[in-house]
Amino acid sequence: MKVIVCGAGQVGFNIARYLATENNDVTVIDQAADLIGKVNDLLDVQALVGYASHPDVLEQAGAADADMLIAVTYADEVNMVACQIAHSLFNVPTKIARVRQQSYLNPIWADLFSRDHLPIDVIISPELEVARAIGRRMSVPGAFDMIPLAEEKVRVVGVRCTERCPVINTPLRQLTSLFPELNIIVVGIVRGGEPMVPTSNSQMLAGDEVYFVADTAHLPRAMAAFGHDEKSARKVVIVGGGNIGLNLARELSEARQGISTKVIEIDRDRARRVAQALPAVTVIQGDGLENDILEEANVATAEAVVAVSNDDETNILASLLAKRYGVERAVTLINKPSYGPLITTLGIDVVVSPRAITVSTILQHVRRGRIRSVHSLGDGFAEIIEAEALETSPLVGTPLNEIELPEGVIIGAVVRGGQDGQVIIPRGSTVIEGNDRVILLAMADAVRQVERMFAVGLEFF
């Protein structure tokens, strides 16, 4: 597949890295020579300096025979114009654009991005995606990640194991006998920063980050087995009233009854706009790092603080101050990847990376075959994939213990029967049928093989 990536910032760089590792033909465009130099040094892709919205630059990048254009520069208008030119002059089949400005996304202007106007096939709004991701994480207390799949019948959950976790130091093959009602599959373990796909002999240790797949109906039981029985937060303080904070506060106040939400915003004009947009939310104008502002927000009685300002250091310090006040759970937005490994050692519970969330969202539209959704884990070490098994798939009709899956792939759940379907946590004797939805974890270097397993056709690796 030939892909043009417009923008060599964190999102563009990581999309290009993902696609290049899967042997796609990738070209990266950016006006910043230093960013293009970094791409040339670190990635096996073509890269050129120029304005992504200029026709001659897109022509030089090979737009005439490109399959996809992904526009993720920092300027919404450049992204939109690049898609328009890719469509009008080069007939690029698929065009994806990152659009930050919420005004463009207002439903009353929905026709703007139609094929007859600005022909963009997929619009990614980082602020909306991040707000939704934070909301999902908050819906499962004790989890640092949560992904709903198969119309929310299945959950993929990330938890940290502590010394109090009842299932540590136990081979995974014994979990079923020790916890007969624990209907889960552990699909990934990160230990000391190193990810791995577990085997039946693997054990979870204190300090591990564990990803498991569970039937949604069994999730409370599964969380209790990992030592997490926290209650959902009913009092939430959000530090930062930007687009992410605004969208999160709106989601919490509108979608969940009985939640008290307060927003702290340092900019007076922005605080006023948030207050006007969300009359049911308490908005406090001030610095979230000042004790008197935190006391005015009554942070000591809050059950969760969510720090989503535009500054990483402010988010980290606001979260740590809130923890000192006794807040049970701190969710922190971090843009700089280098901060990630430090955060959990400081006592922050959940780290949210806009870059990783945006990349994960875009990947859903890049994957081929009968793949319904894709979610990147951690810093991209693996993907959770939901795909439909066709009759021609090598997975269909044979017990799983007789199928030689690619190395780095583990099946976590099978959903059979459409909207009212049955969730099957697979065992060795499970047989996948045509039209089943299969949920699996694939390490990054195995994703291409997974795509082939679910391709429309008879070819297989």
At residue 26, φ and ψ (nearest 5 deg) are -115, 135
pLDDT digits (tens, 9 = 90+) for 365-403: 887 668 888 888 877 789 999 999 988 888 999 999 999
Amino acid making up residue 48: L
* Locus of tokens 């990054």: 444
Identify the H or E element spanning 16. Answer: helix 10-21
Eight-class DSSP state of 129: H
Q: How far is CA 333 from CA 240, 336, 352, 360, 386, in A?
A: 10, 10, 5, 16, 27
Q: b/e per residue, 233-243, with b = 16+ CB within 10 A?
A: bebbbbbbbbb
Question: Are the C-beta atoms of 443 and 408 separated by less than 8 Å?
Answer: yes
Q: Is 109 left (phi over 0), alpha (psi -120 to 50) or beta?
A: alpha
The three state secondary structure string of 240-268 is: CCCHHHHHHHHHHHHHCCCCEEEEEECCH
432 has pLDDT over 70: yes
Q: Which pair of structure tokens corresponds to residue 110?
A: 């929905």
pLDDT digits (tens, 9 = 90+) for 98-137: 998 888 888 888 788 887 788 899 999 988 899 999 998 8
Of 163-172, 183-192, 319-328, 452-461, the poorest mean pLDDT is in 452-461
pLDDT digits (tens, 9 = 90+) for 144-160: 999 999 999 999 999 99
Q: Which pair of structure tokens corresponds to residue 194?
A: 């190193």
Radius of gyration of the chain (CA): 23
290 has pLDDT over 90: yes
The rounded distance, in Å, linking the Cα atoms of 424 and 426 is 6
Q: Confidence class of residue 459 from pLDDT cuts 50, 70 and 90?
A: very low
460 has pLDDT over 50: no
Q: Is 436 left (phi over 0), alpha (psi -120 to 50) or beta?
A: beta
Neighbours of 187 (CB within 10 A): 24
pLDDT score, position 30: 97
The rounded distance, in Å, linking the Cα atoms of 392 and 177 is 35
Mean per-residue pLDDT, 285-289? 95
Question: Are the C-beta atoms of 369 and 451 separated by less than 8 Å?
Answer: yes
Quote the mean pLDDT of the chain: 89
Q: Is 38 left (phi over 0), alpha (psi -120 to 50) or beta?
A: alpha
Helix (H, G, I), strand (E, B) or coil at 458: coil
* Sign of the torsion angle spanned by Cα atoms 70, 338, 345, 290: negative
Q: How far is CA 171 from CA 178, 181, 230, 248, in A?
A: 10, 17, 26, 39
Q: Which pair of structure tokens corresponds to residue 45?
A: 């892709």
CA 265 to chain centre: 26
Taking each helix axis from N to C terminus, what angle separates 126-138 and 354-363, rounded to the nearest 10 degrees? 100
Maximum alpha-carbon separation in the chain: 66
Cα distance between the two ends of the chain: 17
Closest CA to 221 of 162, 166, 150: 166
Which structural domains are found in the chain, ordered by start? 2-124 (3.40.50.720), 131-225 (3.30.70.1450), 235-354 (3.40.50.720), 359-453 (3.30.70.1450)
Helix (H, G, I), strand (E, B) or coil at 278: coil
What sections of 325-379 are H helices per DSSP? 340-343, 354-363
Mean per-residue pLDDT, 245-258? 84
Q: Is 36 left (phi over 0), alpha (psi -120 to 50) or beta?
A: alpha
Amino acid making up residue 32: A
Count the residues in the chain.
461
pLDDT digits (tens, 9 = 90+) for 327-359: 989 999 998 877 877 776 788 889 998 888 888
Q: Which pair of structure tokens corresponds to residue 19?
A: 């696609």
461 has pLDDT over 60: no
